[in-house]
Amino acid sequence: MKCRVIAVLGTRPEAIKLALVIHQLRQRSEEFETAVVHTGQHRTMLDNALKLFKIKPDFLLDVMRPNQTLSSLTARVLDTVENACHHFEPNIVLVQGDTTTAFASALAAYYCKIPVGHIEAGLRSGDIYNPFPEEANRRLASVMTEIHFAPTALSRDNLLLEGVPSEKIVVTGNTVVDTLRALSDLPHSWENTPLAGIPRNDGRLVLVTSHRRESWGPDQENMCLALKDLVKKHPDIRVIYPVHMNPNVRSTVNALLQGTERIHLTEPLGYIDFVSLLRSCFLVLTDSGGIQEEAPTFRKPVLVLRKVTERPEASQFGMAKIIGMSREAIVSEADRLLTDTDAYQDMSEGENPYGDGHSSERIVEAVSRWHQKKTPLLEADKQFKLPPRPLPRRRKSDLEAAVAMAATAGKE
């Protein structure tokens, strides 16, 4: 019998990261019957992403309400996804990441006694309020999960420390790398997009995104003031900041940055537009977890505007640095990369530590083997392994110091 699969998504990042998994499932139609559940947590942005990937939802739940609370959103997702499960009767429900949609859908599947496959499992910051509510969402989803699709070995180790049996974990890589590779070679123009009119070749572009709840208020203000400092100090840079739709973000950003020379505030970008900007930029400042995973594909250094990250691999590989949201730190760290060629090169070398473009294939193969009761879910040599870690560049000052030390030693 075919394996009946529900794939649940509610936000644009979920659509981006599930798109090729859904395509892989539908390509293997002799094995799988697949239904896509769209909760509508991010309606407009998600609809545009689904159109890009030619995915038509089978269940459209429309859970969003004006000024909703997390608890009311959770309750509506829980109720509507449970109804979809009763209607479709899946063998497994696939959820992605750490959104309210992912957590509440996992809970709905659990209430229906349907196994859960958690894609991007095992990410941990160690602080349930940072990021909020994502850290709690992903931890709670893990409790109800049957198959944990960990993107990296570090995520697998986090799950093992929490007592998850190793036979229920598959290291897949992150599916966003699959999507980036599929889209990155497509020709793209900035005409008729929110980026229209911004010069692409007139100086270096700095891409900025910041929208997390824990950054609202003074931290967001500090970040905006730091951006003003940077464009004043570096006349050759342009800051491009696609501003999140949340009014808490927009009110602060617009009040402090609107009208500032060489700071371009745009509406949120379609994913193809964003990928084009990411490829074109010199440097990224962001509090987004997804961009931390995406930027290394194009070897773009990332300054992480957070205190902690659940995605430390890029930092460990020297491709990202966690700097927080103080005005001084943002200016200092960005200035270093804008002025020090060696420091910049150190952060823009190496392969993406989050994936190799085959994550979706691994996930679907593991679900197939699970349905057929085969073990292991995926052979060890077929799971994702981190690429070699690049060696740090030896700066001229380092070499001069080594030569001087050798000369001194020869005289003793």
Predicted local confidence at residue 247, as pLDDT: 82
Q: Extract the tokens encoding 120.
A: 């991007």
Predicted local confidence at residue 322, as pLDDT: 95
Alpha carbon 5 to its chain's center = 24
28 and 104 part of one domain: yes
114 and 254 part of one domain: no
Predicted local confidence at residue 85, as pLDDT: 97
Q: Write out the residue range of the structural domain in which residue 290 sits.
A: 204-346
130 and 213 part of one domain: no
* 100/78 Cα distance (integer angstroms): 10
Whole-model pTM: value is 0.85
Residues labelled as active-site residues: 98, 120, 134, 211, 213, 244
147 and 211 part of one domain: no
Phi and psi angles of residue 256, each rounded to the nearest 5 degrees, phi first: -95, -25
User: Which residue has 């900007």 as its token pair?
Assistant: 277
159 and 23 part of one domain: yes
Looking up residue 280, the CATH number of its domain turns out to be: 3.40.50.2000
Predicted local confidence at residue 328, as pLDDT: 97
Q: Does any domain span residue 66?
A: yes
336 and 362 part of one domain: no
3-state secondary structure of 61: coil
82 and 162 part of one domain: yes
DSSP category for residue 213: G
Predicted local confidence at residue 318, as pLDDT: 93
3-state secondary structure of 149: strand
Predicted local confidence at residue 207, as pLDDT: 98
Burial class (CB in 10 A: 0-12, 13-18, 19+), 334: buried
Per-residue model confidence as pLDDT tens digits over 160-216: 999 999 999 999 999 999 999 888 777 788 999 999 999 888 899 999 998 777 777
215 and 255 part of one domain: yes
Count of domains forming the chain? 2
Give me the long-range contacts of 197-201 (CB less than 8 A, separation at least 24). Answer: 198/238, 198/240, 198/264, 198/266, 199/238, 200/280
Burial class (CB in 10 A: 0-12, 13-18, 19+), 196: exposed
Per-residue model confidence as pLDDT tens digits over 81-104: 999 999 999 999 999 999 999 999
User: ∠42-44-50 over CA atoms, to 5°?
Assistant: 90
284 and 246 part of one domain: yes
Q: Does any domain span residue 143?
A: yes
Predicted local confidence at residue 63, as pLDDT: 84
Residues of the chain with pLDDT under 50: 412
Q: Does any domain span residue 411?
A: no
Q: Extract the tokens encoding 137.
A: 């969402």
- The residue among 250, 204, 226, 154 whose CA lies nearest residue 348 is 204
10 and 152 part of one domain: yes
Predicted local confidence at residue 49, as pLDDT: 81
Predicted local confidence at residue 41, as pLDDT: 76
Predicted local confidence at residue 275, as pLDDT: 92
The residues, ordered by sequence, that sit 6+ positions from 113 with a Cβ below 8 Å of its Cβ are none
Are 78 and 18 in contact by the 8 Å Cβ rule? The answer is: no
